[in-house]
Every structure is written in C-alpha cells, then in structure tokens.
Amino acid sequence: MEPIRTLVLDDEPVICEACRECLAERGHSVDTRLTGREGLEAILQGNYEVILLDMKLPDLDGMEILRTLRKEKPGETIIVMTGYSTVKNAVDAIKLGAVDYLAKPFSDDELVLSVERAADKRRLVLENLALKKELLDRYRFSNIVGEDPMILRIFEAIKKVGPTDSTVLLTGESGTGKELFARAIYSHSSRSTKQFIPVDCSTLSPGLLESELFGHIKGAFTGAIQDKIGIFEVANEGTLFLDDIANLTPEMQAKLLRVLETREYKPVGSTQFKKTNVRIIAATNKDLRGMVREGSFREDLFYRLNVFPLTLPPLRERKDDIPRLAYHFLRVFCRKTGKRINGFTAEALEELVNNDWPGNVRQLKNVVERLVIMADQSVVSLPDMISHVHSRRPLAPEGVPTTLEQLKQIRRTLLKGTFAGIEREFLVRALKESGGNITLAASKVGMQRSNFSTLMKKHHISPTDSAEKR
C-alpha cells in the first residue's frame, strides 16, 4: 500500500507519539499537532489524506473544527477520537463529515485498520470523481468539432436547455451526431452526476423493449424467472436517451406517453405503478410531423416530445466544417495507429468538401480512418481518395464529357486543382528555404506576411510541414 499522509491532532503527546510510531511502522507519513488552532492551520494549508482528530482539545473542540472544515475545506477524510465515547457524539461527528470513530483506548490494529480503510475510501472517491469528469469532458462542446453558424446556434441552445428538465427532441439525418449532442445536453444539466442511459428503440422487439424500459415481475411471461428492474428505474434522477423514437409501436407510444404525462409506469405483469423522475431526450432521423399526418405516430406524444426541438444540419450544409472535421479525425487516427500524416493536398481536401456525405459526420470519420490505414505518404493526396470517396459531381459516364458544359466544367475543375497544387508547393518550398520562418519566407517571394499566412491557412500548412520536406 502507498504511504498515507496522516495528521494526528491530540493534546496528549503520548497519544500523538504512539500513533506516529504505529503508523510509521506500516510505512505511513505522520505529522502531529497538540492544539486545535495549530491543527486547523495545518489542515487548511496542508494536503493530508487522513486526519485523526481528538474531540477534546484545550482551545478548540473537535466539533468546532469539523464545522469549520465543512465550510472551508469540505471532503477531508477525518477519523474522530475521544475518550468520551457516546453514540450521540459519533452520530454528530459523522453528520459533520467524519468517516469513522475511534474510542480511546484503541489498539494498534484498530488504528491501522481505520486509517487504511479511510484512505482507500478517499482514493476510490477521488478516482470516481476523476473518471466522471473525464467522461463529462468528453461530451462538452470542446469535443464537438464545428464552427459553422448553425452548429454554434445549437451550442447556444444547449446552454439554455441543458440546465432545465425539459424534454428535448433531436432530429437530423443518420450520422449527424445525435447521441453526441444528447450527451452534451446531459453534461450541461443538474443531472450530470446521475445516469445517462442510451436506448436504441430500433434494435429491440416491442415485447423486449417494454421489459427493458419498465422491467417485469416474476412469472410475467415465459422465461421471467425473477423480477427485473427496468431502465426507467435504473435511470431515476438521471437522463434517458431514446434514439430512433419513430420506431416505437403504437402500444409503446401509448405507454411512453403515460410516463411523460404522469411520471408513472407499470412493470410488465404488475398491477402496481412505480414513480420515476427521469429526463427524456429523444432522437429520430425521420419526419415525425409527417408520420403524425399519416397516422403512424401519435400526435399527443409528438407534442410531449417536441417541447424543445433541435435540428442537426447535415454535413453537406456545413461545408466549412469539413476541413476541420477531416483534420480532427486525421489526428485521432494517427494517434491510434502511430502514423505521422501531416494533412491533405489541396485537391484531396477539395474532394472531401465537394462530396455529398449522405452518411454525414459518421461517414467522413470512417473515410478518414481508412485513408490513414492505407496511407503510405506523409500527405493524403487525391489518388489516395479515389477508392474511398465518391464525388457528388461525376465528370461524365466513363469519364468522357457528353456536352460542352460538362467539358467546360472539367476544364475549370482541373485548372483549379492544378493551380491549387502549385500554389501549395510554392508556399511549402518558400518555408523550406526559410527554415520555417514565415516572415522570411514571405519576404523572399515578395509577399506581405499577412497574405502569406492567409494562404497557409487556406492550404492547412504549418511551418513544421516544411521540415518534413527537408
């Protein structure tokens, strides 16, 4: 076990020294203080894992110190010690934040067990908090790549709706990141310390989905050999994300509507209702309004779900974000594979931008992953992409134009691509010959530094790119 940083606060030097010797023998680090004020100052300024606190001190009693720490430094791991042991003292001390109680006289084994158990509990709490923070941070806006005005407006909307308990309906094509945005809403809510449970309504049969959501009692159906807790109970006080909500059967729509209206549900086979306090975030890639008109989706359920609607734009409508996303995924998969790929040629990036991306961000992510796996060069070029990306604008059947307009379009495309490639090489060479110094490179080619930097941004070039070429 790692050494435990411990403070013993007791007005009896004999007890302090005995605790020090006992804990030091186990490899633990121990400080001692004899007065309440000295001990309190040490706690406020120090970084102790466990504090042994005597309840009777000459200047400040233990309860007063506990009350101060509760305000000034909550979360400290404190074990109280006293020769005046009563149940009331123990209860009062624990209410104020103490984790354990030692009645004097106590044995060495009792002391060590209490300290090590308290330290283990503290470390477990800190690890859980760190893990939860990591998971929450993963779904903050910083993890969502996008600066398109439509995406920024969605960010602002999430900031407003996140802290509320309002039901949110996310709509958008497949692959637009509905679960990612649902988690962002969750991470901005007061329920972020509770459960977030995603449920794909399209992957479970109606009977199984009902049992999963509401649970069932023993004997409810063949195979129900014991009671089962449903997701609504597990997610209580938390957030439930219902993806592909349009796939619910009419029967399940009615049951979900009742939950939204009354906050009550019945496990399968039960006659008793259970209460739930769950926030619902729903998502679909279908036109729910159209389904309401067709009679395949309940109108009353639609309005219950559509309290705060958010529509996620398809990738083809936020083309400015495509280069950002492409480079983001490039960095992600380079880290995973250990490859070093500096970026895309201008022609390759243009091909990405001009694609329709029917599978949206998910499709782009998959394409970049394949490009990284297959890459043999430090830059992804247009030929690398031929087998992975299909442009929305085919030149013509079998590559041969059939009209004058097609011929002109091909000419414009080729000329643009050729010039872009030359322009990029022009910048890289200038940087190479100037040792990566942008100011010097701009001066050598007869350009203003600001214009040179603008062209570098256009082609996603950094000064380090020139170093790779040397």
Three-state SS string over 337-388 comes to HCCCCCEECHHHHHHHHHCCCCCHHHHHHHHHHHHHHHCCCCEECHHHHCCC
Beta bridge partners of 29: 5
Q: Would the pLDDT of 107 be above 80?
A: yes
* Residue with the larger pLDDT of the pair 383 and 7: 7
Give the pLDDT score at 394: 43
**How far, in Å, CA of 444 to CA of 78, rounded?**
68
Give the pLDDT score at 355: 87
Give the pLDDT score at 86: 58
Mean pLDDT of 262-272: 91
- Whether 318-469 and 141-313 are alike in CATH topology: the answer is no
Mean pLDDT of 256-261: 95
Q: Would the pLDDT of 397 be above 50?
A: no
Give the pLDDT score at 368: 93
Confidence of residue 413 (pLDDT cuts 50, 70, 90): low
Mean pLDDT of 62-77: 86
When the pLDDT of each residue in the chain is averaged and rounded to a whole number, the result is 85
Give the pLDDT score at 135: 54
Q: Would the pLDDT of 49 be above 80?
A: yes
Give the predicted TM-score (pTM) of the model: 0.56
**What residues have CB less than 8 Å from 184, skipping those under 6 apart?**
139, 140, 141, 144, 158, 162
- 318-469 adopts what CATH topology? Helicase, Ruva Protein; domain 3 (1.10.8)
> Edge to edge, what strands does the sheet with 239-243 contain?
196-200, 239-243, 279-284, 168-171, 308-311
Q: Would the pLDDT of 148 be above 80?
A: yes
Planar angle of CA 203, 205, 209, nearest 5 degrees: 85
Residue 137, helix vs strand vs coil: helix
Confidence of residue 468 (pLDDT cuts 50, 70, 90): very low
Out of 241-250, 258-267, 294-303, 461-470, which region has the weakest mean confidence (pLDDT)? Answer: 461-470
Give the pLDDT score at 366: 92
- 5-135 adopts what CATH topology? Rossmann fold (3.40.50)
9 membership: H or E segment, kind and range: strand 5-9
Give the pLDDT score at 51: 93
388-391 long-range contacts, CB within 8 A, separation 24+: 389/351, 389/352, 389/355, 390/355, 391/351, 391/354, 391/355
Give the pLDDT score at 125: 80
**How far, in Å, CA of 138 to CA of 198, rounded?**
16
**How far, in Å, CA of 155 to CA of 141, rounded?**
7
Top-confidence range, 103-117, 168-182, 437-451 = 168-182
Give the pLDDT score at 227: 86
The domains of the chain are located at 5-135, 141-313, 318-469
- 141-313 adopts what CATH topology? Rossmann fold (3.40.50)
Give the pLDDT score at 398: 41
pLDDT in tens, 327-357: 999 999 999 999 999 999 988 888 899 888 9
